Chains A and B, each alone.
Chain A
Amino acid sequence: MMISKGGNNQMDLNRYSSIENIFFTITTITYVISMILYFIFFVSKKDVLGRWASVLLLIGFAFHTASFITRGVGAGRVPLTNQYEFAVSFAWGISLCFIVVERRYSFKALGAFVLPVVFIIMGYAAMQSKDIRPLMPALQSSWLTIHVSTAVISYGSFGVSFALSCMYMLKSYFKGDFYEKQIPSLQKLDFLTYRVITFGYLFLTLVIITGAIWAERAWSRYWAWDPKETWSLITWIIYSAYLHVRLMKGWKGKNAALFAIVGFICVIFTYIGVNTLLPSVHSYVR
């Protein structure tokens, strides 16, 4: 038997934890203010509010990233291994994807729908244990970083597609001048949802493949029908079906939006539900 000293010592760890807590709180507060501004912008269409919302989101995102890095430095590893870290990285992924979409397509109103999702996930993170625990042997692999990073990008994209689909449904069901003015055309929403899902789908495929490569090294089998694996596959099938019928049959509109919403519910279940509700080799993340 050998004894090793892992990561930083307790004093360092406490210091890093305090800094991370401060960053986390600033992030949450900034996101909340940004969310409110996005919402007022969505209702009033005052450009100045939209600009401030974007600026605050960027500030929040910077603190979010800083909080993430601080935790990583404190833990001496990539902070992607428990339910708190997953939730924080999930929210980070959605914020990042939204920032890209907002900049690329000048689509500020989307913030009023994306930020509440980010806020809920941050709230969930706040309720989880923030304890930094050393990694079990199976998690000590460079595949961890690749596997979970691709998951963060993939699930972040699906989070944005969920918000876009919600906007689509809102505009489809509620007619009137307000919705006509405040929400972009259904065609644009549909197209953007498709683009974002395409991107998320590519990364979800990478998540499953990198996970399989890692599982082969750690557990001898690249696919063992573990609930987490199976639910990732179910999510992949849902988005595959969405893209298939869209490409082959030109399927668009409400049904496609509904599909995207169901897909994201599966993502949430795979990301959070499976870890907490089902027995799995991924249960260490509880």
Chain B
Amino acid sequence: MKLGVILLVMLGVTSVAGTMIPQNESVQFYAQNYGSKFNNLLQLLELDNVYYSWWYAFIVTLLIINLTTCIITRLPSVVRHMKSVPDGRGALIEKNLLFEVEAEGVIENLSAHMGFKKLKEIDENIYASRKNNIGYMGSWMLHLGILLIIVFFALGNRFAYETNLYGVPGTMGQLENTDLFMKINSFDVKFRDDFTAEQYITNIDIINNKQEVLKSGDVSVNSPLRYNHYSFYQNSMGYAVNLKVYEGEEKIHDDVFYQSEVYVSDGKKFAVQFMNFYPDMEMTGEGPKTITPYFNNPYMLYAVFYEGYMADMNVVPCNSSIIYREFSFTVERPQEFTLINIRKDLFTPFAFLGALILIAGIMVTFYLVPVTLYAVKTKETALFYICSKKNNEMIKIKLLLKYDDFKRGEQSNGLE
């Protein structure tokens, strides 16, 4: 258990590195920002990918082993504690005594008022009752919850299916390594008066290889479409144009050209990169900017590469033609495209089950403390001994308040 805390703290401390050092950047980025010496150390310790590094995985594995061992070894004692019956006089001298009070009148009434079930005689003139026995399970449940979360998160990371499909309305693409297809029927961006995006909505069909539509519906942010354990998420959007490329008089390319894409001609002699797009362009001192998200004055920023070298870069209006040596190209029909993220992680429900068990474990551990009441009858009166293995001040205060409350009730009944 001590090792468990050490491992948990180690995970906490090492996780800080992942938040301070930018993750998954290029080697050049680290060399530029941290110098070559630190970069070498960084690459060696995989600090550029902390949460998936060998040493982080090693700590997590140790924690999984520790938690599993803890859960297995503690289960018998937890069950034993839960099922155990208070025994005889020996119990009265246990060190876990919270307090003792004198009980007058009918002791069953007082014990019931304090929340205990029926008293059972365990020895001559000694009665006992227990409550919150499930409290013994709390810590065990808590550990089980953590274990399930870690294990199923790791399994999800390893085995979950994930892919992206993007396109303009009308595009259909196959989900990699499956028999499923996704068709984009429409894509709308809902803008507010101030031109901020309120919602992105893509309408899609999920189709099988017999071209049968299995499911249709809208996908928007916070509202994924689910089909047969696959979830379709609205991820992002961008701009696309129709690109026509000519070599001399011959048309060598005519297709949708997406933002950030690079078109390369067959002989790799000529290439065009779609660098940026301005739907409603205005030229400012700082360069081109867009005033609104509407296609009022659409411009595109491109770069041309010829024989491997950048030859030209410019911002041009849509529907214009650009000529470079024997090549020329036109960009037209600007439109928005949508990017849908598709994920199938069969382990997610189990990780959330772990989260539920964790929450239940915390509540049981801290709010359902197991308590045993011993009532010892004498000739004149009876004594109540309240014991708990977790010497909890809170339960003591609560039970004493109930005791006082009961006594006040008894007194007022007596006065009447």
Instruction: List residues of chain A with CB under 8 Å of any chain B CB.
Output: 1-6, 133-134, 136-138, 140-141, 191, 195, 198, 201-202, 205-206, 209, 212-214, 216-223, 225, 227, 230-231, 233-234, 237-238, 240-241, 244-245, 247-248, 274, 278-279
Contacts and interface: CB of A to CB of B under 8 A. Distances in A.
A225 B51 contact: yes
B310 interface: no
A221 B153 CA distance: 10
A241 B5 contact: yes
B351 interface: yes
B377 interface: no
A34 B9 CA distance: 39
Sorted from nearest, which 7 A-B pairs have the closest CB atoms? A237-B12, A137-B221, A227-B19, A220-B233, A2-B190, A141-B222, A209-B355
A220 B190 CA distance: 21
A6 B192 contact: yes
Given A1-B191, A134-B194, A136-B196, A238 B12 contact: yes
Contacts of A217: 222-224
B308 to A, nearest CB: 34
A131 to B, nearest CB: 12
A237 B22 CA distance: 22
B238 to A, nearest CB: 15
Nearest to B164: A220
Interface of B: 1, 4-5, 8-9, 11-12, 15-16, 18-20, 22-23, 51, 139, 153, 162, 188-194, 196-200, 220-224, 231, 233, 235, 293-294, 341, 343, 348, 351-352, 355, 358-359, 362-363, 365-366, 390, 393-394
Contact of B189 (A1, A220, A279): A1
A3 B193 contact: yes
A212 B220 CA distance: 18
B221 A140 contact: yes
A244 B198 contact: no
B266 to A, nearest CB: 37
Contact of B15 (A195, A206, A234): A234
A230 B15 contact: yes
Given A1-B188, A240-B8, A278 B19 contact: yes
Contacts of A225: 18, 23, 51
A225 B153 CA distance: 12
A147 to B, nearest CB: 12
A230 B362 contact: no
Nearest to B352: A213
Contacts of A137: 197-200, 220-222
B366 A198 contact: yes
Contact of A202 (B189, B366, B390): B366
Given A213-B352, A247-B139, A220 B341 contact: yes
Nearest to A204: B362
A234 B9 CA distance: 8
Nearest to B14: A234
Contact of A195 (B22, B200, B362, B394): B394
Given A3-B190, A214-B222, A222-B351, 15 more contacts: A1-B294, A4-B191, A134-B194, A134-B196, A134-B198, A138-B221, A205-B358, A219-B233, A221-B343, A225-B18, A231-B19, A234-B16, A240-B8, A241-B9, A278-B20
Given A134-B198, A136-B197, A137-B197, A244 B222 contact: no
